[in-house]
């Protein structure tokens, strides 16, 4: 059974590129348009990995991570940030919030798949 | 010696003119930025649709080729050529996926610029409002206080505007970003 990845980003084109890359590698992808939408979808079905942007309306990525980590079912689910933010300060905040990794946009599909496979397997 | 009255009316006119002309130009800047945002959004939508359609067609084409290769005997050089073309297409698809992420970054930059333009317009409005509070009948000290308050208000407003517009996109090109696993 294919593993499911929740991709959270307010940019439709970015979500489309993430979903395209992950589906091509055999993963199922659930898409969410902001942190709140991501939290709602994560509660509906526990996914194998969350890939989230940072700067989004309604709820940002760091807040989403904190909310997910507060849920029993997401204590150990890997969460990766995929964002334009590249400062050490923001990375430290992500790590403190409970992120397992930080990917700076733009992403290379091949590299993204390698990272995802390393984190949750094929 | 009798002191000449301060040219308050002229000063008010100057502040009003700076404010009005500035705001008019900023309205145009905002309109251009909004139009750019819409054009970029429309472009990426069309690019994405075409990209997906081309990819789907190429995938089907590959399936047909695989079926033909299973039935017919191909020369080794033809098989190698097809393999190389498949790899080349894969590399180009990856490059296209990376390049098509431009809209996410440009829209963030445009949104930040539009917010700055709006903030600047508010500051210019403040300039005119403060200017209107001055009156030729006011004493020299009162006028000085008005100008000082105006200067302070602009400084605070400008500082608040910059503080609320943290830069979130530092990328200068479409080279792929770093990956850190914690």
Q: Is B178 exposed, middle or buried (0-12, 13-18, 19+ CB in 10 A)?
A: exposed
Task: Tell if the CB–CB gap between A105 and B48 is shorter than 8 Å.
Answer: no
Contacts for B37 with CB less than 8 Å, ≥ 6 apart: B107, B110, B111, B114
Residues in A touching B101 (Cβ below 8 Å):
13-14, 17, 105-107
pTM of the model: 0.88
- The DSSP bridge pattern shows strands A49-52 and A4-8 to be parallel
Q: Considering only the beta carbons, identify the residue of A84, A101, A102 that sits closest to B105.
A: A84
Pick among B37, B98, B164, B175 to test the A interface (most A CBs inside 10 A): B98
Residue linked to tokens 């508010």: B122
CA of B151 to nearest chain A CA: how many angstroms apart? 33
> In Å, how far are A9, A10, A59, A91, B131 from A82, measured between CA atoms?
9, 12, 15, 11, 48
- Answer whether B8's CB lies under 8 Å from B136's CB: yes
Return the pLDDT at B42: 94
Task: Tell if the CB–CB gap between B168 and A21 is shorter than 8 Å.
Answer: no
pLDDT tens per residue across span B6-62: 788 888 889 899 999 999 999 999 999 999 999 999 999 999 999 999 999 999 999
CA A91, chain centre distance (Å): 14
Task: Tell if the CB–CB gap between B94 and A99 is shorter than 8 Å.
Answer: no
> How far, in Å, CA of B180 to CA of B182, rounded?
6
Q: Considering only the beta carbons, identify the residue of A20, A55, A95 that sits closest to B168.
A: A55
CA of B182 to nearest chain A CA: how many angstroms apart? 5
Conformational region of residue A98, where left means phi above 0, alpha means psi within -120 to 50, and beta covers everything else: left
Residue B5 has pLDDT above 80, yes or no: no
Residues in A touching B102 (Cβ below 8 Å):
106
User: B103 — contact with chain A (CB < 8 Å)?
Assistant: yes
Kindly state the tokens that stand for B92: 């180009």
> How far, in Å, CA of B86 to CA of B80, rounded?
10
> How far, in Å, CA of B133 to CA of B129, rounded?
7
CA of B20 to nearest chain A CA: how many angstroms apart? 32
pLDDT tens per residue across span A50-104: 999 999 999 999 999 999 999 989 999 999 999 999 999 999 999 999 999 999 9
Domain residue spans in chain B? 8-163
Q: What is the ipTM of this complex?
A: 0.91
| DSSP 3-state of B175 | coil
Nearest to A6 by CA among B153, A33, B102, A25: A33
Ordered structural domains, chain A, with CATH: 4-120 (3.40.50.2300)
Q: Considering only the beta carbons, identify the residue of A54, A84, A100 that sits closest to B171.
A: A84
pLDDT tens per residue across span B140-172: 888 888 889 889 989 999 999 888 888 889 899
Contacts for A92 with CB less than 8 Å, ≥ 6 apart: none
pLDDT tens per residue across span B103-146: 999 999 999 999 999 999 999 998 888 888 888 888 888 888 88
User: B170 — contact with chain A (CB < 8 Å)?
Assistant: yes
Q: Considering only the beta carbons, identify the residue of B100, B101, B176 that sits closest to A111.
A: B176
């Amino acid at each position: 059974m294919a593993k499911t990845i929740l991709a959270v980003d307010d940019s439709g084109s970015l979500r489309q590129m993430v979903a395209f890359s992950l589906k091509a590698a055999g993963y199922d992808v659930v898409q969410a348009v902001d942190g709140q939408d991501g939290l709602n979808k994560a509660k509906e079905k526990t996914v194998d990995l969350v890939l989230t942007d940072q700067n989004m309306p309604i709820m940002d990525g760091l807040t989403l991570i904190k909310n997910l980590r507060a849920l029993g079912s997401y204590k150990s689910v890997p969460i990766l940030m995929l964002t334009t933010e590249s400062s050490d300060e923001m990375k430290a905040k992500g790590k403190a919030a409970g992120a397992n990794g930080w990917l700076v946009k733009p992403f290379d599909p091949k590299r993204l798949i390698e990272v995802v496979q390393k984190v949750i397997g094929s | 010696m009798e002191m000449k009255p301060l040219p308050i009316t002229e000063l008010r006119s100057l502040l009003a003119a700076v404010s009005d002309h500035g705001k008019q130009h900023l309205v145009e800047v905002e309109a251009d930025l909004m139009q750019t945002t819409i054009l970029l959004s429309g472009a990426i939508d069309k690019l994405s649709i075409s990209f997906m359609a081309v990819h789907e067609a190429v995938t089907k084409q590959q399936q047909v080729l695989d079926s033909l290769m299973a039935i017919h005997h191909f020369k080794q050089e033809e098989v190698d050529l097809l393999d190389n073309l498949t790899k080349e297409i894969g590399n180009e698809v990856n490059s296209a996926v990376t390049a098509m992420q431009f809209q996410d970054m440009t829209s963030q930059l445009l949104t930040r610029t539009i917010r700055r333009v709006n903030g600047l317009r508010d500051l210019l409005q403040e300039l005119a409002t403060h200017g209107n509070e001055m009156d030729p009948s006011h004493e020299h000290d009162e006028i000085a206080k008005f100008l000082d308050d105006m200067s302070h208000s602009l400084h605070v407003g400008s500082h608040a505007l910059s503080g609320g517009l943290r830069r979130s996109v530092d990328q200068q090109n479409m080279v792929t970003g770093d990956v850190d696993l914690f």
